[in-house]
Amino acid sequence: MFTGIVTDIGTIRAATSHGKGLKRLVIATAYDSATIALGASIACAGTCLTVVETGRDAGGHWFAVDAAAETLALTTVGTWQPGTRINLERALKIGDELGGHIVTGHVDGIATLIAREDFPADAEAPWGATARFTFRVPPALKAFIAVKGSVAVDGTSLTVNTVEDDTFSVLLIPHTLAVTTWGARQPGDAINIEVDMMARYAARLMDARGG
């Protein structure tokens, strides 16, 4: 379980395909590898992956995860190569501050960033640049996106500003642009998306009742 509050930007050090559709990823991190237990869950660009190895060498701390065939098919993980930068979040602990919203790390699909509009700092907004991002989601997911609702995109908990058919927009503040991978994102990028868990269950309940 996660909150969508990114705490590190990791970098893929190695990506190796294995038999039976597995891909081993070695990820450089600022997390102290001595504090990462084998079997721990870490959200990698919003995808919950299990740690299978950790270490520290001349390049710094790192951990390794295995991505299975379904993960590779439904997320952007299959496209990651050495040098790819990804948002990281360690699993929520009982008693931690819930700063974002409940995020499971179970990605629902891949959205596409279709527009980015940057607003530089000026006299009216001296705290720094902001940016508006617009995404297009798969048709099956558009019903779960609501104005003022929560959504996790590449593991970042964000509030939906506008919705129009299969597109929605969010506004990112300077801090978010600085401490996540969003500062470098451009139109055309593929993005992992997880819809709000409550919306998903509400829809399932409606279906079960024939609504």
Give catalytic status of residue 2 as yes or no: yes
Give catalytic status of residue 41 as yes or no: yes
Give catalytic status of residue 63 as yes or no: no
Average pLDDT over residues 90-97: 87
Can you tell me the distance from the alpha carbon of 163 to that of 82, in angstroms, rounded to the nearest whole number? 35
Global confidence as pTM? 0.92
Q: Say which of 40, 106, 112, 129 is annotated catalytic.
A: 106
Place 206 in a pLDDT band, splitting at 50, 70 and 90.
confident
% of the chain at pLDDT higher than 90: 79
Instruction: Give per-residue pLDDT as tens, 143-154.
Output: 999 999 999 999
Can you tell me the distance from the alpha carbon of 13 to that of 62, in angstroms, rounded to the nearest whole number? 9
User: 211 pLDDT exceeds 60?
Assistant: no
Q: Say which of 159, 162, 178, 190 is annotated catalytic.
A: 159
* Chain CA centroid to CA 3, Å: 11
Can you tell me the distance from the alpha carbon of 156 to that of 165, in angstroms, rounded to the nearest whole number? 22
Looking at residue 74, what is its pLDDT? 94
Q: Say which of 28, 43, 45, 48 is annotated catalytic.
A: 48
Give catalytic status of residue 16 as yes or no: no
Average pLDDT over residues 56-60: 95
Looking at residue 48, what is its pLDDT? 98
Looking at residue 112, what is its pLDDT? 98
Instruction: Give per-residue pLDDT as tens, 99-113.
Output: 888 899 999 999 999
Indicate the average pLDDT of the chain.
Answer: 92
CA 136, 196, 48, 7 torsion-angle sign? positive
Domains located in the chain, CATH noted: 8-90 (2.40.30.20), 109-208 (2.40.30.20)
